[in-house]
Amino acid sequence: MKEPIKLYSQGEAQLRVRRDWCKGCDICINACPKDILKLDETGRIFVTDIDKCIFCGICAERCPDFCFSLELPETINSI
């Protein structure tokens, strides 16, 4: 598989996607408030437009396969 772990960044904030763990259940696509998640032709998740991402973390909270994790600068985290 191409790129099993993909890093998307927007300034200091990073969204890491472990595509090799994805089972293609669509739960995150349903949960994402900005509609920027999509399955590719192999049935694995990818981010279509990271600039729209608000780093809410709902994908990381909902994914049963632990595909998402957030890296946030301290200023965002403390809110």
Partner 1 sequence: MSTIKQLAKKESEGKSFRGGHSLCRGCGIPIAVRTVLNSIDTPVVVINATGCLEVATTRFPTTAWNVPWLHVAFENAAAAASGVEAAYKALIKRGTIPDDEPITFVVFGGDGGTYDIGLQSLSGALERGHQFIYVCYDNEAYMNTGIQRSSATPFGASTTTSPSGTESFGKAQKRKDLTAIMEAHHISYVAQSSISHWHDLSTKTKKAAKAKGPAFINVLSTCQLGWRHEPRDTVNIARLAVETCFWPLYEIIDGYYRLTHEPIEKRQIKTWLKTQGRFKHLFNNGNEYLLEEIQQDVDKNWNRLLERCRQDANYFERQEAYF
Scanning 11-65, the segments in alpha helix (DSSP H) are 27-31, 58-62
Burial of 19: CB neighbours in 10 Å, binned 0-12, 13-18, 19+: middle
Query: Any contact of residue 6 with partner 1 (CB under 8 A)?
Result: no
Q: At 69, which amino acid appears?
A: S
Residue of 7, 38, 40, 66 interacting with partner 1 (CB under 8 A): 66
Residue of 16, 19, 46, 50 interacting with partner 1 (CB under 8 A): 16
Query: Residue numbers of the site for partner 1 (CB under 8 A)?
Result: 16, 18, 21, 23-27, 29-31, 55-62, 64-72, 76-77, 79
